Amino acid sequence: MRLARSIAILLTSLFVLGACSKEGQSNAIKVAVSPAVPPMLFEKDGKYTGIDLEIFEGYCQSRGCTFKMTAYDWLGMLGAVTSGQADVAFSGISITDKRKEVMDFSKPYFTSTWELIGLKNRHIKITDLDQLKKYTIAYPTGSVFDDYVKTVLQPNGHYSVDQVKLYPSPTEALIALQNGNVDLVFVDSAMLVNYQKSLNLPVSSSYQVVGFDSLGFAFKKGSKLRDDFNLYLSELGPEKLKAIINRWTQ
């Protein structure tokens, strides 16, 4: 009986390690990131850091894997995982039905509301969505906010997607806001907290979108690595996962 139990444990361990080694050359997982999405993934003091990286580092430590990160703009990161150039992508990626057609997602690890933010000294407050027509809205190319404008705001006559100013990254959209080139920028609530507390930027919420946004780690289609990563999230458990998130958002 002890021998059978030992063999079962050994086979389980080999399966777990195999999930890493098969999808990464020499046991190294290829990771695509867009390091401009604080607090999920961003650059600080010349190094990448954030919630997503802490979670994935924990996964690799538990599995004995190594990984190599390559930075892209937002669309490039998603393209890298859909084309198979990367095994996984993470930088606060929203799970959408459209994206699930070309990539596999982990279980959601974070939910967030959306915010339209503006400069505090502008005192912009949206109480009626028709007010949006007076302002220029910005967000990164290929972000989930594009779907919201196309499927919610535009059909109801509140705002046209042609009015949106697109930028390669959230950082560049934020710089445009600070320079007065745009009036409002779409971000999620965790990013707003980071901008206000960690970066001490003079921004505030002008409007909060009703509803929730689920984030996940994106894997290439048919990924066994995704299945093992989901197993790790279950092993981590909601309390430890919440503790990681709270370290970056409170």
Predicted confidence (pLDDT) per residue in 194-212, tens digit: 899 888 999 999 999 976 6
Residue 8 scores a pLDDT above 60: no
Instruction: Give me Rg for the CA atoms of the chain.
Output: 20
pLDDT exceeds cutoff 60 at 86: yes
Contact 218, 80 (CB under 8 A): no
Question: What percentage of the chain reaches a pLDDT higher than 90?
Answer: 81
Q: Per-residue confidence at 27, pLDDT binned at 50, 70, 90?
A: low
- pLDDT, averaged across the chain: 89
Question: For position 112, what pLDDT does the model report?
Answer: 83
Give the β-pairing of 66-71 and 28-33: parallel
Average pLDDT over residues 86-107: 96
Q: What is the percentage of the chain residues whose pLDDT exceeds 70?
A: 88
Q: What's the whole-number mean pLDDT along residues 133-149? A: 94
Distance CA 113, CA 167 (A): 21
Q: Which two tokens stand for residue 26?
A: 């020499």
Closest-CA residue to 19 (of 48, 71, 59): 59
Residue 20 clears pLDDT 60, i.e. is over it: no
Give pLDDT tens digits for 209-236.
976 689 999 999 999 999 999 999 999 9
User: CB 15: neighbour CB atoms within 10 A?
Assistant: 12
Both structure tokens of 7: 């063999």
Confidence of residue 7 (pLDDT cuts 50, 70, 90): very low
Cite the residue boundaries of each domain of the chain with CATH code 3.40.190.10: 2-111+214-249, 113-213
Identify the pLDDT of residue 212: 66
**How many angstroms separate the CA atoms of 126 and 132, rounded?**
7
Higher pLDDT, 112 or 128: 128
Q: Indicate if the pLDDT at residue 23 is higher than 50.
A: no
Query: Where residue 13 falls among pLDDT bands split at 50, 70, 90?
Result: very low
More confident residue, 3 or 242: 242
Mean pLDDT, to the nearest integer, of 16-41? 72
pLDDT of residue 213: 85
* 170 upstream amide cis, omega within 30 of 0: no
Distance CA 226, CA 142 (A): 23
Phi, psi of 102 (to 5 degrees): -120, 0
Give the DSSP per-residue string, 123-135.
Answer: ----SSGGGGGGS
- Residue 45 has phi, psi (to 5 degrees) of 55, 40
What is the pLDDT, as a whole number, of residue 48? 97
Count other C-beta atoms under 10 Å from residue 65's C-beta: 21
| Phi then psi dihedrals of residue 42, to 5 deg | -155, 170
pLDDT, tens only, 56-82: 999 999 999 999 999 999 999 999 999
For the domain with range 2-111+214-249, which CATH number is right: 3.40.50.300, 3.40.190.10, 1.40.20.10, 3.40.710.10?
Answer: 3.40.190.10
Report which of 29, 201, 47 is spatially closest to residue 117, judged by C-alpha positions.
201
Q: Domain 113-213 belongs to what architecture?
A: 3-Layer(aba) Sandwich (3.40)
**0.85 cut: is pTM over it?**
no
